[in-house]
Structure 1
Amino acid sequence: PNRVLSIDGHDKLSHFGFEIYGAIDAYSRYIVWCYVGISNRTAVSVNKQYLRLLRTTLHMPKLIHSDKGNFLNTISSIILEIVLLAESHLTLWRANRPDLPFQKAYSYGKSTKNQRIEAWWNILTEAQTQEWKTYFAKLELDGYFNGGETDKSCLQYLYMDLIRSHIYRFIEVHNSHPIRFQRNREHYLLTGQPFLMYYYPQSGKNYQEKVDEKVLEALEKKVENYNLDEYLPESIYLLYGRFLQEDGYPNIFAYSDPRHKDAYIYLRDRVSQYIADGGQVHLASRPAGAAEWIAAEWIAVHKTHKIEIHRGSLIG
């Protein structure tokens, strides 16, 4: 365990305002973290997710593997969700081993090469997110969702906590379920419970490395003002709750309660009327403004280690 941590985003529900990002230990298939919120493609969010993990465990994996990320036209316009995470990981490793090359701490490539996390997303889709996507798509087909931020906020108010709880419970089941023997794959696919294989491996080396807590604290300060868990500002959360209470709806629904759909349609109409009457709805924003800083940091790291950084070499 902890030799390779495979990370990636899951965009099955992004169109409807629910963004997912996660990490899986390639050896044990243990889900190390899973984020469900409103920002799975911004560098600040992904970096803070990783730092939150390290604050909990106080150890880091040997290598992180991810997709290359998203690029625009020039190197100065790189919007790469993993750059800050990569820099944090390298900084922490170099606190212990100053001469460690970048490629020994981080690797990136096509999503088809990131098989562990891609396989996990397939499992999550079948068990959880496809059902939600089907439900939200039906709302859109029936004219109750237009893709705008206001409609997304109404969905988030009613369903974010519910989706989080469903996914987190499913992860608990996955991490404790036994992975069965598969013929012709036993030479590379271990069997057993992911939790036990991750924390108590019976064979092989645990590659975890203790983090320097002072360095970790300094990295955390860079993103301390971003709240990973917030998806609606408190004022909007209270406003939407008041709107539902005005019509006799509860603030929290179980998915088995059929009233949740009517509550969403009512809330959507009520918020639209509120805005039409001059009310203002200020929604939570994703962390922004890091593009130039990200590009500069990425260039500096690669120049230091004599790694070519032009766009063609990164994408090719």
Structure 2
Amino acid sequence: MNVTSDPHVASAIREYFDSGHTYEVILDMLKTNHEISISLRTLKTHLKEAGLYRRGNYSPLPEVRRAILNELRGPGQLFGYRTMWQVLKQKHKLHVKRSVVMVLLRQLNPQGIVSRTRRRFTRRTYHSMGPNYIWHVDGYDKLKPFGFALSGCIDGFSRRMMWLVCGASNNNPAVIAHNFINCVKSLGVIPMRLRTDLGTENGTMAAIQCTLRHAHADHYAGSLSHSYGSSTGNQRIESWWSFLRRGRSQFWMDLFGDLRDSGNFNGSHEHQCLLRFCFINVLQKDLDECKDLWNKHRIRPSRLASCPGGIPNELYLLPHRYGSRDCGFAVEERELDVFPEGRQAIELCGDSNIEEYLHHTVQQNRLEQPQDWESATELYLALKNVAGF
């Protein structure tokens, strides 16, 4: 039986191909993640039969243009042509040349081109031994005036985003610990080191990290597995926040700012809860998309870093291809179950009483749950009028 005829194998091959991986990496992924070994010739034959080509068979230009216009209506207005090209490939399943995307963006979003033509600043040289050698954790507060607090974590070697979560608070130690435990549970591994700033919200997570590492015998075992430092020194995650500002969060800041300027948002507790209730799922969906696209995009090599260039998912999952190794430590789920933070439920809008009232109002008035920022805005304005906030 031809192993590529298995629908699960065929689906995995298509996913790896659509993510932009090379043939050699696809073969390595199949062998490493699925314990399947096939030849390069077999892989190429399967891709040909499935109609998957690197060149030729490009998507119709009007379809590409419509997809770009659709993205430009939202956070996509902040994308450069490389990011837009990746979104078209992975989200819209369109096959298009990157040069074509660049030309179309110049026509459809000239203001965005101008706004991105500014020079970068120089960063310090960064060193890391391999994936899970050190995770960088930090909060993002640019959306806090509107009631949204973000928490993120990035792997220092691969630059893979481990989690990116929005909620009512990123100052609650239980919330940060909850994100950490969920991530560790999904991976089955804890990092060798954890790096955070001096905020008290990181204390519980730091204690969990040190507890899980206390029985190990390496140099960073126990209390040395976590380190505090200034926010400006938390280089990897701070750099990523600047990317998020350029590529995503500026859109949401402008959208919520328009609600404020039009007199529909005053920053009160009730308005923040209402805004979270209407937008948090839509915003989290956008952050998930941003995280997924980042983890699948290619990072160019830099002379200012000892870490190799490449695709974050490849760097994280296949470190042997880059002369490195996984530095993490396996952890079983039963070890994590002793921490109550991993089992707590996170409130949608941060206030159980207001949340219950809003759910009742939505059902009573037969309002639809939002699917995008436009329907979320309509729901917000409708609920604001009904509730009298």
User: TM-score under structure 1 normalisation?
Assistant: 0.74
Cα 1:141–1:180, aligned 2, differ >3 Å: closer, same or farther? same
The 5 Å alignment of 1:127-206 reads 127-182=247-302, 184-185=303-304, 187-201=305-319, 202=321, 203-206=323-326
> 1:17-58, CA deviations, whole angstroms, 9 ceiling, x for partnerless residues?
111101000001000111111121111111111111111111
Give 1:126 deviation, angstroms. 1.2
Partner of 1:216: 336
Tell whether 2:19 aligns with 1:19. no
Cα 1:49–1:87, aligned 2, differ >3 Å: closer, same or farther? same
- Higher-helix-fraction structure: 2
Give, in whole Å, the separation in 1 of the partners of 2:347 and 2:364: 23
Give, in whole Å, the separation in 2 of the partners of 1:173 and 1:133: 21
Give 1:215 deviation, angstroms. 2.8
Cα 1:230–1:97, aligned 2, differ >3 Å: closer, same or farther? farther
Partner of 2:162: 32
* Contact 1:20 1:40 survives alignment (8 Å): yes
RMSD: 2.3
Give 1:97 deviation, angstroms. 4.5
Q: Flag structure 2 segments of 5+ consecutive residues without an equivalent.
A: 1-130
> 1:106-130, CA deviations, whole angstroms, 9 ceiling, x for partnerless residues?
1111111101000111111111111
Amino acid at match of 1:173: L
Give, in whole Å, the separation in 2 of the partners of 1:84 and 1:260: 34
Partner of 1:227: 345
Amino acid at match of 1:28: S
Give 1:237 deviation, angstroms. 4.4
> 1:50-104, CA deviations, whole angstroms, 9 ceiling, x for partnerless residues?
11111111110000001111xxxxxxxxxx1011001101110114449966552
SS at match of 1:82: helix
Partner of 2:67: none
SS at match of 1:188: coil
SS at match of 1:192: coil
* Contact 2:150 2:167 survives alignment (8 Å): yes
* Contact 2:149 2:168 survives alignment (8 Å): yes
Larger radius of gyration: 2
Tell whether 2:180 aligns with 1:62. no
Partner of 1:311: none
SS at match of 2:201: coil
SS at match of 2:169: coil
Give 1:244 deviation, angstroms. 5.1
Amino acid at match of 1:191: G
Give 1:174 deviation, angstroms. 0.4
Cα 1:262–1:54, aligned 2, differ >3 Å: closer, same or farther? closer
Could you tell which deviates more after superposition, 111-120 or 134-143?
A: 134-143
SS at match of 1:218: coil
* Larger RCO of the pair (alpha carbons < 8 Å, separation 6+): 1
* Contact 2:140 2:149 survives alignment (8 Å): yes
Give, in whole Å, the separation in 2 of the partners of 1:225 and 1:103: 24
Partner of 1:241: 362
User: TM-score under structure 2 normalisation?
Assistant: 0.61
Partner of 2:226: 106
Q: How many residues align?
A: 254
Give, in whole Å, the separation in 1 of the partners of 2:218 and 2:207: 14
